[in-house]
């Protein structure tokens, strides 16, 4: 597997799986917040768990290449829902 596999978006079934997965993560996040866990603590744990899974599936090099694109994506607002600061 390579970085292209990590970044694929053209496959509709893959996109549907990602949307479903996002729903599960959002639900877990909400439950964690309702139980009193701080949002940033859960976010850090979710990122750590996500990177563990990606490395297990795609390998360290492919995930490192994928992660190299994250600063640009963050700066371009890809993960921004609303202004928070």
pLDDT, position 14: 84
List pLDDT tens digits, range 5-56: 655 656 788 888 989 999 999 999 999 999 999 999 999 999 999 999 999 9
Tokens encoding 29? 């996040």
Under DSSP, the state recorded for 37 is: -
Check residue 25 and give its pLDDT: 94
Specify the 3-state DSSP secondary structure of 10. Answer: coil
Domain edges within the chain: 3-75
Cβ-contact 7, 68 below 8 angstroms? no
Token pair listed for 69: 């694109």
Read off the pTM. Answer: 0.74
Whether the predicted pLDDT of 1 surpasses 80: no
């Amino acid at each position: 597997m390579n970085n292209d596999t990590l970044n694929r978006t053209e496959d509709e079934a893959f996109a549907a799986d990602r949307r479903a997965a996002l729903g599960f993560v959002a639900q877990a996040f909400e439950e964690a917040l309702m139980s009193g866990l701080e949002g940033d603590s859960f976010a850090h744990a979710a990122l750590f768990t996500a990177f563990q899974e990606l490395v297990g599936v795609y390998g360290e090099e492919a995930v490192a290449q994928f992660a190299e694109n994250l600063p640009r994506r963050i700066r371009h607002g890809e993960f921004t829902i609303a202004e928070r600061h």
